[in-house]
Chains A and B, each alone.
Chain A
Amino acid sequence: MKDMPLSEYRIGCDIGGSFTDFILYEVATGRIETLKVATTPEAPEDGLMQGIDALAARHPGLSEGLKVLIHGTTLVINAILERKGAKTALLTNKGFRDIIETRREIRYDIYDIRQEYPKPIVERDLRLGVAGRMAPDGAEVTPVDPAEVAEVLEDLKLKGIESVSICFLNAYANPAHERQVAAVAAAQGIDLSLSLSSDVLPEIREFERFTTTTLNAYVKPKVDRYLAGVESALAERGHGVPLYLMQSGGGVITAGTARQAPVRLAESGPVGGVLAARNLARLAGHPDAIAFDMGGTTAKTCLIRRGEMPITRAYEVDRVHRFRRGSGTPLAVPTVDLIEIGAGGGSIAHVDDLGRLKVGPESAVADPGPACFGRGGLLPTVTDANLVLGYLDPAEFAAGGITLDRKAAEDAIVREVADKLGLTVLEAAAAILEIVNENMSQAARIYAAENAGDLTRTAMVAFGGGGPLHAMEIARKLKVPKIIVPEAAGVFSALGFLMAEPSYEVARSYPRRLDELDEAALAEVYGDLQAQAGAIIAASAPGAPQRFSLFADLRYIGQGHQLRVPLEDLGRGAIAEAFRTAYLEAYGYVYDDMQVEIVTLRVEAMAETQGPGFTPLPADQAETRRRKVWDQSQGAMVDTRILRFAALAPGAPEVIAGPAILIQPGATIHIGTGAEARRNAAGWLEITTGARA
């Protein structure tokens, strides 16, 4: 390794349950280095610092050259899932303490009469009501009694409560009562961590706002301690680097902001892949794209439109049934809207009581792993099917230190699937893939219907260990005409982490009819929101140029679902026209005789910073082999060309016609019969699937 004293570095790290992953990006060369250290659950900052120390040891100039440290963490989500947050209480209006327990009353499965729901984050004896009430227009109905509040808070403190979620009805319209509670605590010197619903989620609908605020309260002390620890450890070692945290919505914020709103970090894990996919798709000239990531346990799909990541507020944590919507607790902060299903390489295939072949969501991913890993797994998985059908080659895995046992894979498939269904081993393996690919494409199709997207006009960006292998069949099922596979598809998500820009979204409920809108008042509210978001971003990236995107959640009067519409002009007519355009695009029709109403105003502020780009790696020695690989369209094993990805020169005119397999370290790309692939000058692979809409 050459020593480059002037080098600038960016580091991304992601603390997961078992491992803390690092990616180091050297700005001058575009070189990427990854590192894995064991997570230290009791004090995660220790593992983090071990990793940084190890990187510093390899790169002597790191301390001076380190420009950014971007941190993603499962700390928040794990604290929620494992119920290891702070001792938390909920303070609300008298008479409303059960909002987070009675939920929406609807059952997430109509036929399951023994349904269970997640246990409320705060149990009933710690949910307390006090005097005070606001009207929906923000007028005070009943005042808060400071003496009562002081008494209640003192009592909670005596009970050992660390954190309090303060959730008053209609606080989205007027936060005064919640702030008064905070002021009482400050004035009386009562040392409690407080989360106000009007700060965490100033939006209408009490159940979602209360649960989100309460989750924030629950994780806040832990995140606060942790980030303080990381900051001081970094300072001790002389890394004067800004610490950024990855948010669920895709942007990064400073540790200071994160300590106030830790729930915004809950789902930072999948963000990297989506960010990288968006950037790559933009570069490749596809503002509309579908990101497809498949790992060991799950597959994730995300629809990118007009070059923007989709953001949802309908996110849930702590589901009783992981893949069942409605079985969890709402966490309504901006979150990248993606669909995750239980379909990964480790997903287990079995025949159910009714004779149906099922794949997943149960997974054998780490322990004991697919049957072919020879670690004691006896159940057939998607990876076993891929091996039996020739998509995977033991020789390629051997390089990574894993010995694949084809016989074990066959035995498992025969025992658990083929014999039970009267199929040959090849048919059974093909059936497993057919089911898992169909599951993924169906999930993608419903998700596209929800997001009013047209998949036939997108390009699929496939990454993760299994993404490029399954992309072919899924794209064909979805009639997606083109697949893009990045270089280093296996570490693509980690790379995306480093591409995040500081960004922060603020919102305010502003329910009113468009025809009764006061334009000056609207401009003022947007001005306030811009100032608020801009200040947060200025703290993240001092001096960097800022961009603002204005959005309004709009709908026809009386509708329940609103569209997030980007606004450039704040005039009534322009807003109506922007909504009309968005609605037409989403649903294919508009109502000309209906009035429009505003629900929520949003401002996203972003700072422009320079992240890593995509630098093509040079080609190396060509080497072509052949082996028999399953061809879905013919229903048979056919002679197939096997090439190393790196053997294709960037921009080379050569077209690889399917059937073919391309090998990357950590990923296998399948090019089906009738498809064609070529490597772009910028390094990535473009495959035309031959699918027609």
Chain B
Amino acid sequence: MTHAFDAIRLQVMWSRLISVADEIATTLERTAFSLIVRDNQDYACALYDARGTMLAQSSQCTPGQAGSTPTVIREMLDTYPAETLEDGDILICNDPWVGAGHAPDVFVATPIFHRGRLAGFACTCAHHADMGGRLGATDAREVYEEGVIIPVSKLWRAGERNDELYRLLARNVRMSEKVLGDISAQIAANRVGAKGIVALMEDFGLEQLEDLATQICDATEGMFRKALSRLPLGEAHSEVFHEITDDKGARLKIAVTLQVREGAVHLDFTGTSAQVAMPINAVLNITRAYSVFPFIATLCPDLPMNAGAFRPVVLSVPEGTVLNPTFPAPGMYRSLLSYFTVEALMGAIYQVAPELAMAPSGTYPLWTEKFSGTGPDGREFLSHYNAQGGQGAFRDRDGNSAVVFPGNIATTSVELFELEAPFRVVSRELRPDTGGAGKFRGGLGQETVMECLNDTPVQVAFSGGRLVEPAMGREGALPGAAGVIQIRDDAPFARSGRGVMEKGDLCRFAQPGGGGFGDPAERDAALIARDLRLGYVTPEGAARDYGVQVEEDGQISRPLAAE
């Protein structure tokens, strides 16, 4: 039986759902072991009705994972139909095709029972410190190399721990204490969510969540459609060529045709490169996440997320491509490619509504560096260092420098890193002249230099990009600077890869700058003067990129317009 909720009551229940999802996230962050969860906040939490329809998602979450949350419970229900679930069950899965595209993202879902009946699910996805496999397999050719895959399974059965699965996991992952600790943290966080849902149902006298789900998902869908209707109807085609090449030496391509219809957009990725035997393939869930993201971000960033948010964006992604690969394509480093889905879509949005689009960003791809070995105390260490480039500019403002986008993970503290890893960070600063010059400047990249202090060799896996192809500018603006990854005085990396560092060796990561927007000659002189004063732009850079002379007193002069 369907109840008709009045609008206010609906609104209150809806905001309560979001707040319960945030409670889950808060608990997860407070109890997690993995630095990636607790410091970098690489997780997503969501609530569902008994059918697996997503009701709400935590305000803090990683957009990539957020793309798999709408479907993951339904996939779990395919394996364990609702009638087979019992109170005290806990489900787990890290299958890249069910979840978020690589093994470290582990989903733990807790069926919620209310008055003896399955009411819904609380689910957390957390990026774990390790899931086994070859460490830093930046050259993996198959998913088997990238860690243990747990298909949808029961981690607990009716309150009984599935010891076989725990033992299997513990035997297959590094630092199993931490990994199992994080799974416990996910379970505890889900418990908080289950409690919140039961309290909500009791407070509002709900027998089930399905009617509520239908109403709020329809409402979100309606809001999103209304926002999409601000885009002019029409079609645009956008292509991005990635600097990584396939086996035949051709640059990987993301091609998308955007059709703006009344309150909907259709995205057809026909023309996108075939999947590759490199760990950068992005499963459909990830592609969905980054296809929906640009529209929400440019049109309605306050949209409350639930299953309804994924309806107005209709996707067609040919199977067997890098954006919809089939098993067993590897995908550990999918962010190297998937962020460029956002670039391709920003390119399409630019064609229909240029004022909304961000210029190509130096924040694509994500940069994450790994260091592992045996430390001076004889213990194994595995440390991460994250730092990101500069955002692209907009038609009316500069891009932010050194910020993560479109993913959302925090940078590494130098002091924490030095405490954990036998390395010294020699310097870490913004890179002048790296923001693409334009009427509005791209954000600056940054540079870190570090020295190895370890007596024994350290294995490194360095992952970053735009090492060859910088972020281009729009409307006459210049590109941002390309990135650099280098060990010692060796030739800089042409793409992400591995290496060995010994005591005294230096390495360097220079993240790229964002593309500019508009003709540099039109940039406000006061902004150029400010950039010079603050050292974002050097006098040489100003002369070269903006065509201005810097006088002794710091004043700038601009030759008469040449055109």
A residues apposed to B, CB below 8 Å: 94-99, 101-102, 104-107, 109-115, 117, 123-125, 133, 135-136, 141, 169-170, 172, 204-207, 354-357, 421, 423, 427, 431, 434-435, 438-439, 442, 445-446, 449-450, 452, 477, 479, 511, 556, 558-561, 587-589, 591, 593-594
Contacts and interface: CB of A to CB of B under 8 A. Distances in A.
Contacts of A452: 30
Interface in B386-437: 386-388, 391, 394, 397, 400-406, 408-411, 413-416, 418-419, 424-430
Contacts of A101: 401-402, 430
A438 B298 contact: no
B424 A141 contact: yes
A136 B415 contact: yes
A98 B428 contact: yes
B410 A95 contact: no
B446 A98 contact: yes
Q: Which 5 A-B pairs have the closest CB atoms?
A: A95-B427, A560-B38, A111-B301, A442-B19, A105-B411
Contacts of B298: 113
Contacts of A112: 297, 301
B41 A115 contact: no
B419 A113 contact: no
B181 A357 contact: no
A452 B29 CA distance: 12
A482 B428 CA distance: 54
Contacts of B188: 587-589
A452 to B, nearest CB: 7
B184 interface: yes
Contacts of A593: 177
Interface stretch (B8-16, B116-124, B492-500): B8-16
Nearest to B62: A110
Contacts of A589: 184, 188
Contact of B8 (A354, A357, A442, A561): A357
Given A115-B400, A125-B535, A170-B415, A438 B38 contact: no
B550 interface: no
A96 B413 contact: no
B427 A446 contact: no
Q: Is the interface of A mostly helix, strand, loop or mixed?
A: loop
Interface of B: 7-8, 11-12, 15-16, 19, 22-23, 26-27, 29-35, 37-41, 59-63, 66, 175, 177-178, 181, 184, 188, 191-192, 196, 199, 203, 219, 223, 226, 293, 296-298, 301-303, 358, 386-388, 391, 394, 397, 400-406, 408-411, 413-416, 418-419, 424-430, 446, 449, 533-536
Contact of A559 (B31, B41, B226): B31
Contacts of A421: 7-8
A106 B411 contact: yes
B262 to A, nearest CB: 18
B535 A124 contact: yes
A110 B60 contact: yes
Contacts of A110: 59-63, 66, 408
A111 B178 CA distance: 31
A435 B8 contact: yes
Given A95-B428, A125-B535, A438 B410 contact: no
B23 A561 contact: no
Contact of B415 (A98, A111, A205, A479): A205
B31 A587 contact: yes
B430 A450 contact: no
Contacts of A357: 7-8, 11
Given A125-B534, A435-B11, A593-B177, A106 B19 contact: no
A216 B410 CA distance: 25
B23 A446 contact: yes
22 contacts: A102-B402, A105-B402, A106-B408, A107-B403, A110-B59, A110-B66, A111-B293, A113-B297, A113-B358, A113-B405, A114-B394, A136-B419, A169-B425, A204-B413, A431-B8, A438-B12, A439-B15, A445-B19, A450-B26, A479-B199, A558-B35, A561-B29
B192 to A, nearest CB: 6
A560 B32 contact: yes
A445 B23 contact: yes
Given A110-B408, A111-B296, A356 B427 contact: no
B409 A106 contact: yes
Nearest to B409: A106
A111 B302 CA distance: 8
A434 B12 contact: yes
A559 B38 contact: yes
B155 to A, nearest CB: 15
Contact of A98 (B31, B38, B416, B430): B430
Contact of B12 (A113, A427, A435): A435
A104 B29 contact: no
B428 A560 contact: no
A155 to B, nearest CB: 16
Contacts of B303: 111
Contacts of B418: 135-136, 169-170
Given A114-B394, A125-B534, A559-B32, 12 more contacts: A95-B427, A107-B408, A113-B391, A135-B418, A135-B424, A204-B413, A357-B7, A442-B16, A449-B192, A556-B181, A561-B38, A588-B191
B334 to A, nearest CB: 18
Given A105-B411, A434-B12, A591-B184, A559 B404 contact: no
Contacts of B410: 104-106
A125 B533 contact: yes
Contacts of A105: 386-388, 402-404, 410-411
